[in-house]
Structure 1
């Protein structure tokens, strides 16, 4: 869900490691490296990491036109990785506090060992739960199907899922796929109404949502239910699950080898670190089944950077569908389709999504052409100072 400022000096009580591409010339340390430790000190995260991807020129161009052939830079993007973690004495330990993950309806594994600097350390290659970043993948698949004329964004949900949505204020015969994509359907968020009962199927999630108060159709209101329904539409149209169709269309062609849909599998693929709730409980083992097409994805920093770079460069969608994806008018400027804009203090607008799931918060943002991308993550589900997100994005995308 979209959330949303000044670079501060911090004590060197945290360990910060930056790795740059061997092919890149030596440069001054990026401003993000000075900002990242704030996610641990002010943000109270056990550990944080970022990975930036920058093309040597606009990803929509085939070459840098102003340079002669013998001075053209390598076409490989430049990467920069940095991470920071608390010393072991400051790291969280699983405790006896209430478990917010279980209260939200997730099945979690109990943590029994104290966290330490090794357990909390985030490596560049670690797998982690990406939460609502899943929505960008799902929206991309739906827009690809629209480009192939296999569905219409103006079509009612009823055309694909007869009888699924019948509520006091909502009806699938008038609710469109476009409204689902832009979070303007009026469907309530089923995750707010589970009350300890975990929906085991998408249909159960929809029934849970229909029992909750709806918002007026046409008004933007972020709801995970919208993308659960879109996952069901993908399966009806293609005959394959949203996970299989997304793998076929995006994950496999882009060689996103660290990205997967776990279903109800509770473990993360190796390598991975530990994950904690904001109360300090170890939730590395987690059944993300309740999240489904709205937030089930597992990924890596490099895979997310690559996906958003390729998407915004226009290599996954025809130009018309990409323009629709970035059009925020239906959602009153809040949201496009699986992406949302954020205007930074310097006037630059970046596009991307965030993801929150017990034990993980991740944010990817990119320039409009995909030429510069930043993904950062913390191994807990809440940043104590939410303003730090904009601080980090400003450090990356605003001229210094």
Structure 2
């Protein structure tokens, strides 16, 4: 699993078990994934954690579990960088339709925007943006370093940021990686959002709605723009104060600074449904789906809006995480989309790689069978 730089997680503000199991494992030699939820709460210091998994064809086996209080399967929350998978799917659809080519340069679509301070948009392709191999620095990290006072519930509404301003912020920074090498940067997907607008004449949010949300009936998913509140029912989000350790309610924030890199609002139900449809071939034809999952440009770390994680049992799962003020979410799915898991904690504290990996292993790795060689 690649180390993904967080998007607007604080201090950057741009930051008993309930429910039953529909498909319990027949031989629970591995702890079921739901057994990790109390650990996400206790070890991660989150008020609540929840997961939702689906197995088999659409409408098949479903498991929902939660720990703590405050997250329902259809509660709305901020999904952060999971937005990138939706943007990548739209770009690949446009490529299939002939509206753009992945070898087009940024300069072809956004003349003059990526220029100066050693940057040259004519040398950066859309493929490089999709795979995080552009060499462009991360504007989100820059904002955090420049203004660490933007924390808690006041920062987001105090400093909304346009896409153009985000890119210009990045262009003022020194390169953090050579062009062609993998370096996760939110700037790449903000640029892709602008490219979608240039090609279609509509904002990326409108294209995501028309091409993905409406056809898949993802009624709990939205691109809020400047709307600071979440639709009902909603799950609250919290940030732990670095000063005294108290939990600050940061549910209502202005997500415009995240933009195409991470503004999306969604639900556990919708994210499971989306990744099942995407990997199941309902959104992209085979050639484009193969591109989505091609990690060669990023040396195995990242495809286009998704990344692979190989588990100890040999299974590789695909998906993305989202880390934004008040929320951490992770979706993972098998290559065919027939087994999908989404889990979320309602703080911006990451659960940690080991705990997250253990949860995924419990969900996707088949139980060991006695007497089996």
TM bucket (normalised to shorter chain) is 0.7 to 0.9
Q: 1:151 aligns with which of 80, 87, 100?
A: 100
Cα 1:202/1:170, change in 2 over 3 Å: same
Evaluate the alpha carbon distance shift between residue 173 and residue 271 of structure 1 in structure 2; reply closer, same or farther with a 3 A threshold. same
Return the alpha-carbon distance in structure 1 between the equivalents of residues 164 and 265 of structure 2. Answer: 23
- Taking the aligned partners of 2:302 and 2:86, their CA distance within structure 1 comes to 15
1:263 counterpart residue number:
225
Structure number with greater CO (CA < 8 Å, separation at least 6) is 2
In the alignment, is residue 287 of structure 1 matched against residue 270 of structure 2? no
In structure 2, the partner of 1:139 is 88
2:357 counterpart of 1:395: no
**Which of 64, 68, 76 is the aligned partner of 2:59?**
76
Instruction: Give matches, 1:152-301, under 5 Å.
Output: 152-194=101-143, 195-196=146-147, 198=159, 200-214=161-175, 215-279=177-241, 280-301=247-268
Out of 344, 348, 362, the residue aligned to residue 377 of structure 1 is 344
Q: What is the number of equivalent residue pairs in this alignment?
A: 336
Residues 350 and 367, structure 1, Cα contact 8 Å, conserved in 2:
yes
Matches within 5 A, 1:119-134: 120-134=69-83
How many angstroms apart in 2 are the aligned matches of 1:384 and 1:140?
A: 27
Matched position secondary structure for 2:215? coil
Question: 2:94 and 2:216 mapped to 1: Cα distance?
Answer: 18
2:317 alignment partner in structure 1:
350
**Separation in 2 of the partners of 1:209 and 1:383?**
25
Partner residue of 1:64? Answer: none
- 1:262, 1:296 within 8 Å by CA — same for their partners in 2? yes
Shift of 1:43: 2.1
Structure 2, unmatched stretches of 5+, are 5-15, 151-158, 242-246, 368-373
Where 2:238 maps in the other structure, the secondary structure is: coil
Indicate if the aligned counterparts of 2:25 and 2:32 stay in contact, CA closer than 8 A. Answer: no
Secondary structure at 2:317's aligned position in 1?
strand
What SS is found at the alignment partner of 1:80? strand
Task: Output the CA distance in 2 between the equivalents of 1:210 and 1:25.
Answer: 51
1:281 CA drift (Å): 1.3
- Structure with greater helix percent: 2
Checking the alignment, whether the CA contact within 8 Å between 2:160 and 2:254 is kept in structure 1 is no
CA displacement 1:21-78 (0-9 Å, x = unmatched): 5xx699678711222211012222211000001115xxxxxxxxxxxxxxxxxx6311
C-alpha separation between the residues in 2 aligned to 1:269 and 1:142? 27
Partner in structure 1 of residue 13 of structure 2: none
Distance in 2 separating the partners of 1:384 and 1:25: 24
**Displacement, 1:384?**
5.0
2:17 aligned counterpart, secondary structure: strand
User: Is residue 276–residue 359 contact of structure 1 (8 Å, CA) maintained in 2?
Assistant: yes
Q: Give the direction of change, closer, same or farther, for the CA distance of 1:364–1:26 in structure 2 (3 Å limit).
A: closer
Shift, 1:200, TM fit: 2.1
**Post-superposition offset of 1:125:** 1.5
Look at both structures and tell me which one has the larger radius of gyration over its CA atoms.
1
TM-score, scaled relative to structure 2: 0.86
Question: Matched residues in 1 for 2:98 and 2:25: separation?
Answer: 49
Task: Extract unaligned runs of 5+ from structure 1.
Answer: 5-14, 57-74, 86-119
Structure 1 Cα separation of the partners of residues 200 and 350 of structure 2 = 39
CA contact (8 A) 2:117 2:172 kept: no
Local SS of the residue matching 2:168: helix
TM-score using structure 1 length: 0.81
